[in-house]
Structure 1
Amino acid sequence: MIPIRYIRHLIMLSSLVALLGGCQHFASERPVEVRQTVTEQRPTGCEGENCPLVNIDTLTFADEPELDRLIDARLRRMTINGPDDRLPETLQSYQQRFLSTAEPGWSSYLQAKLRDQHRNILIVELSSYLYVGGAHGMPGRGFINYDREQNRELRLEDLLIPGQEGSFWRVARQAHQRWLVENGHAQDAEFVDFWPFQQTANIALLKDSVLLKYDVYSIAPYSSGHPELFIPHEQLKGILKPEYL
């Protein structure tokens, strides 16, 4: 029989090895230094709740100039609301242009926030909301999956094993079915027929799952907001590259 003291020694040794392995994993992660900048402008001299406004809530990273550039470019792109709109050169010029033509009650919101971070990957979620009259405003969403080691944005094709795009969207359809059940729509044939599953470009590589986020009026009515579908990593083995699981 193995003495109890040896069993205890083995347990302590295995715990130490696991702890050291965890420390090595976290040591490989560079600290994230990020600064939030919020600005809100109204027309000069305008006072009261009905004044037009532009609110910009964005991020600046200390050692990630390429990510800063991506955030700025993506937010500027989200200001385009019609075929005649042109891409502003800067967010500040967009503020000035919007306020110079805005009517009472109009508003524009732009935001970038750090949604998730794991290993050397940062997930930035981008949001917009534009109100120019009518029953409600129009919101927008997007993501940047940024690899700090490669200094670039990761697209879906970068995450998938070659040839597995079809498998990915089949698993996404299953996530959509779960969403229908969770929101009480699975037995509503009219809803399912009118709001069928679609692919989306808004994909986020979270720590334990892949998130698919949808624009309003895509797979559900405006009142449903931005539907979110989650695919656990366990369901993406053999589909997502191992380094991203």
Structure 2
Amino acid sequence: MMYGKSSSAVVAALVLSGCQSPEAERVTPPSLAYQPLEKHYVEPGCQRENCSEVKVSSLGFPDAPALSDELQRRLLALAMDMTDTAAVPPQEWDDYAEAFFARADEDSDMLPQFMASEAQMETSVYAQHDGLLVLELTSYVYHAGQAHGLPSTAFMVIDERQSRAVSLDDMLLDGQESAFQQALLQAHRRWMAEMGYDDQYVINWPLSESRNVAPLEDSWVVKFNVYEIAPYAVGQPELFIPLEELEGVAKPRYLGQ
């Protein structure tokens, strides 16, 4: 009797094992560990009531220092003066603050009546799913004398399984760049309709190609900076492409499959 019960148990275990779905067998990869990184710089020797500042609120990856360096590089480049195309982005927070304060000092001497210059850089988790960590990098830079500061945004998509950042080219199937741009065009038309814009608007603010893409669980979002496809007052438009429109365009890995 004991032998019969053991045989039945073994058979049952084998049957149950064979009936498990691929989803049940799929092993969820461990999430990439990250921790907050904070920096705050104040213009040295400033005696004014309002002094120029540089603030950083970002993330670091203790187990992936190369990713930490890549994130820092991207965030510093995002906060560069867009009017100075010849400038080389600094590689360290301290170097950025030093260069920023040097210009702020010149601006305050010429334009003492204006607000103090400021630069803010921030990283936040935009989405995390299917072994993907999507970060949103933002910066806001204001120089004394400007009508307003300049906000900028960029996504950084990290494959947690490989501990590396991936680009749009990595996410698209070979030869599907034009198909992606067509899907983006449809998303832009939907956005135009939602905003109530007419054809004249498109003439004044045409859609430009963008590689600033974040894969979400139900769609891809493509985000534009101010002045790219809309006036400053509109902010930073987000266009959404449903996953079904990306079938055969993007790799299944980035469609939650």
Q: Scaled by the length of structure 1, what TM-score is found?
A: 0.84
| 2:38 equivalent in structure 1 | 38
| 1:106 equivalent in structure 2 | 117
In 2, distance between residues paired with 1:47 and 1:204? 44
In 2, distance between residues paired with 1:33 and 1:243? 21
1:97 equivalenced with 2:65 (yes/no): no
Deviates more, 1:221-230 or 1:139-148: 139-148
Q: 1:173 aligns with which of 185, 197, 205?
A: 185
State the Cα distance separating 1:47 from its structure 2 match. 7.0
| 2:79 equivalent in structure 1 | 79
Structure 2: state its 5+ residue gaps: 1-15, 109-114
1:152 equivalenced with 2:164 (yes/no): yes
| 2:111 equivalent in structure 1 | none
Cα contact 1:64–1:148 (8 A) shared by 2: no
State the Cα distance separating 1:45 from its structure 2 match. 5.5
Runs of 4+ in 1 over 6 A off after TM superposition: none
In 2, distance between residues paired with 1:49 and 1:71? 33
SS in 1 for 2:54: strand
Query: Alignment length, in residue pairs?
Result: 226
Letter in 2 for 1:147: D
State the Cα distance separating 1:34 from its structure 2 match. 1.8
SS in 2 for 1:62: coil
State the Cα distance separating 1:110 from its structure 2 match. 0.9
Q: Scaled by the length of structure 2, what TM-score is found?
A: 0.80
Tell me the C-alpha RMSD between the 2 structures: 2.2
| 2:230 equivalent in structure 1 | 220
1:135 equivalenced with 2:137 (yes/no): no
| 2:131 equivalent in structure 1 | 120
In 1, distance between residues paired with 2:219 and 2:200? 30
Residues 99 and 242 of structure 1: is their aligned pair in 2 closer, same or farther, counting only changes over 3 Å?
A: same
| 1:236 equivalent in structure 2 | 246
Letter in 1 for 2:155: F
Letter in 1 for 2:116: G
In 2, distance between residues paired with 1:63 and 1:207? 26
